[in-house]
Chains A and B, each alone.
Chain A
Amino acid sequence: MTEKPEPKVPVTPPEQWVDKYGDYLYGFAMSRLRNPDAANDCVQDTFLAGIKALERFDGSRDIKFWLRGIMRNKIVDQIRKSIKENKVDIEAEDEALLESFWFKYSGIATTNPDPWQFNPRKSYDNGEFWIVFEKCIAQVKDPAREAFVLRVLEDQTTEEVCKAMDITPNYLWVLLHRAREQLKLLLEASWTGENVK
């Protein structure tokens, strides 16, 4: 029988991980996946991967953040799985946008997007704003939300996202455009903090 590899530094024993970090990691997974079953799977996969990789933990950061680092990969895997089950098809409206003169000429959808109804920069120091922001991201429709989470929040490269979603870079651009558009509308409708006109 092989011996369990020991971590290089003292760490919270895995038996206590659920009580200490379970809620934190579940909440984090929900903010990216918004599906309770997928989030539960993600937490479980993260803990199991953490146990296997524990001997590589060097204590340079809190184990909670080390586990969250592992979880980022698991979140990407879960989104990939969800995309495989619900293949991304290009919509007629998006196809028209890709064929439009402005897109071909300048790589943008429109020259005059509506300006913000409030200055979001002035709300950056307000913790409540980020809670509203997170709730708004959850309301963006898939597959635009999935593309946004992978590309922007999880910082995957364009190539990685296109491969995971089986789409072209141009269509990824359209999905990100849709996500930003929806997010802006949702924020304008939801944010009632200071600096709102």
Chain B
Amino acid sequence: MFTCKQVSNALSKEDYEKMPPLRRFFLRLHVKLCVFCGKYNRQVMDSQDMCRCYREHEITSEETFAQYRPQMEPLKKDQLKELLASQSK
């Protein structure tokens, strides 16, 4: 079994979903049962889940993001087009 400090260190270094299955199982078990670090590390795991989902949505819901994200200024686009044309000749 892990100690609280080992669980906290492991979660600060890697996404728990990427851990080997057995390690992930014991880590989850510790977080579920521990009265000391359970609440805290559960939220760390929630945050990892959230960021993983966000990165997936960035790809799958690209059009939704495109509606809200800022766009390049036309002047900057023209300057960049000129630069790329000269570079790709």
Contacts and interface: CB of A to CB of B under 8 A. Distances in A.
Given A18-B80, A130-B57, A108 B4 contact: yes
22 contacts: A4-B89, A17-B84, A18-B77, A18-B84, A47-B80, A47-B84, A65-B59, A105-B5, A106-B8, A107-B6, A109-B40, A112-B39, A121-B49, A130-B57, A131-B64, A131-B68, A153-B54, A153-B55, A158-B13, A180-B44, A184-B43, A184-B47
A15 B81 contact: yes
Contacts of A14: 84, 87-88
Interface stretch (A27-35, A79-87, A89-97): A27-35
Majority secondary structure of chain A interface residues (helix, strand, loop or mixed):
helix
Contacts of B13: 157-158
A43 interface: yes
B66 interface: yes
A193 interface: no
Interface residues of A, number: 53
A194 interface: no
Interface string B48-68: 111101110111011011101
A107 B57 contact: no
A30 B5 contact: no
B: contact size bracket: 35 or more
Contacts of A150: none
A194 to B, nearest CB: 17
Contacts of A180: 43-44, 47
A107 B84 contact: no
B72 interface: yes
Contacts of B58: 28, 130
